[in-house]
Amino acid sequence: MRTRLQLGHAPADHTPLDDDVAERIDLASDILAGRRTAVLTGAGISTDSGIPDYRSPGSPPRTPMTLEMFLSSPEFRRHYWARNHVGWRHMDAALPNPAHLALTGLQDQGRVSAVITQNVDMLHTKAGTRGVLELHGCYGRVRCLRCDWRISRHRLAQQLEEINTGFAERVAGRGAIEVAPDADAMLADTTDFRMIDCPHCGGILKPDIVYFGETVPKPLVEQSFSAVDEADALLVVGSSLTVMSGLRFARRAHRAGKPLIIVNRGHTRADELASLKIDHRAGVVLPALANR
């Protein structure tokens, strides 16, 4: 199963750094020098690529999809898939920004030992990062909840387009569309959309994304813990660490006495554990850190 990747990258940001941020980047560089660093990323690393997040300062209130909501009724799932049929295209068109590219460069230099992400946008993969541990899955795959049959999102989109000819174009003609971080577009009228079930067993098809209320697969959690254990430091980028799926790694690094550096706009649940906090955009901080 293959997923098409977008080429190119989002433009660099040349915003000048104030003295405090510059000093903190220098300090972070000193702390991480000579250390193999595991990196945990959240939605804040992708905002410069045009993908919104849930909790950064100024973000509008959004209700993330829950498993209970998705399973609640066939009508709700049809409404959801109609929105996803539009929203996933926005995510698929997104390009990696300088923060993603900086991490790939650091990995190529042997300074980043692992990248664990809470994001489903595949931007680390598009940037060329290898072996990304996708805690919450990715938008590019769809699976059956009954038999675990899988299909790429591109291939499913082709099938949905055949039975919903012109739907995306009609919706786009109604004005601007807001897209959530999980590729869920905010649409009101979806009554004319048709969804399909699994062609093998008739089961429910669901994006291969861990919704709120679901648990991250245990083998993936153990693999991520091992990545943190084998590293000399942990760098958290663009995550408020509000949910335990990310916070547990920060706590594990802290308990092991490893440097914990956080780059995030706004408060995180691990601020008091951090060796250093840089309250600024990842797209500005990470390229500067890589250049140090």
CB 241 within 8 A of CB 233: no
CA distance 69 to 180: 16
Position 5 pLDDT exceeds 60: no
Position 40 pLDDT exceeds 50: yes
Specify the pLDDT at position 14.
Answer: 59
CA distance readout (Å), 15 to 38, 104, 154, 243, 247: 27, 21, 36, 31, 30
Specify the pLDDT at position 41.
Answer: 98
Tokens (6 digits) for 190: 């979806």
Q: Can you tell me the mean pLDDT for 160-182?
A: 73
Task: State which H helix or E strand residue 246 sits in.
Answer: helix 244-255
Give residue 163's pLDDT band: very low, low, confident or very high (50, 70, 90). very high
Quick: pLDDT tens for 217-233. Answer: 999 999 999 999 999 99
Does the annotation flag 207 for ligand binding? no
**What percent of the chain is predicted at pLDDT more than 70?**
86
How crowded is the C-beta side of 104, counted as CA atoms within 13 Å?
15
Does the annotation flag 36 for ligand binding? no
Specify the pLDDT at position 227.
Answer: 98
Name every residue whose Cβ is closer than 8 Å to that of residue 236 and which is 6 or more positions away in sequence.
Answer: 39, 40, 41, 42, 246, 249, 250, 260, 261, 262, 263, 264, 268, 270
Position 186 pLDDT exceeds 80: no
The DSSP letter of residue 59 is P
Specify the pLDDT at position 1.
Answer: 37
Active site residues: 136
Position 143 pLDDT exceeds 80: yes
Does the annotation flag 42 for ligand binding? yes
Q: Can you tell me the mean pLDDT for 112-124?
A: 97
Position 267 pLDDT exceeds 70: yes
Tokens (6 digits) for 219: 């083998």
Does the annotation flag 61 for ligand binding? yes
Does the annotation flag 264 for ligand binding? yes
Does the annotation flag 44 for ligand binding? yes
Does the annotation flag 138 for ligand binding? no
Considering the chain, tell me which residue range(s) the CATH 3.40.50.1220 domain(s) occupy: 18-51+96-136+216-292
CATH architecture of the region 61-93+137-209? 2-Layer Sandwich (3.30)
Position 173 pLDDT exceeds 60: no
Position 66 pLDDT exceeds 70: yes
DSSP, collapsed to helix, strand or coil, labels residue 140 as: strand
Specify the pLDDT at position 91.
Answer: 87
DSSP, collapsed to helix, strand or coil, labels residue 33 as: coil
Does the annotation flag 196 for ligand binding? no
Does the annotation flag 279 for ligand binding? no
Specify the pLDDT at position 176.
Answer: 47
Position 180 pLDDT exceeds 90: no
Specify the pLDDT at position 4.
Answer: 47
Does the annotation flag 45 for ligand binding? yes
Give residue 56's pLDDT band: very low, low, confident or very high (50, 70, 90). low
CA distance readout (Å), 276 to 26, 28, 30, 263: 11, 7, 11, 9
CA distance 284 to 159: 40
Specify the pLDDT at position 3.
Answer: 44
Q: Quick one: 18-51+96-136+216-292 is in which CATH superfamily?
A: TPP-binding domain (3.40.50.1220)
Position 271 pLDDT exceeds 90: yes
Position 60 pLDDT exceeds 60: no
Considering the chain, tell me which residue range(s) the CATH 3.30.1600 domain(s) occupy: 61-93+137-209
Nearest to 10, CA basis, from 86, 79, 80, 102 = 102
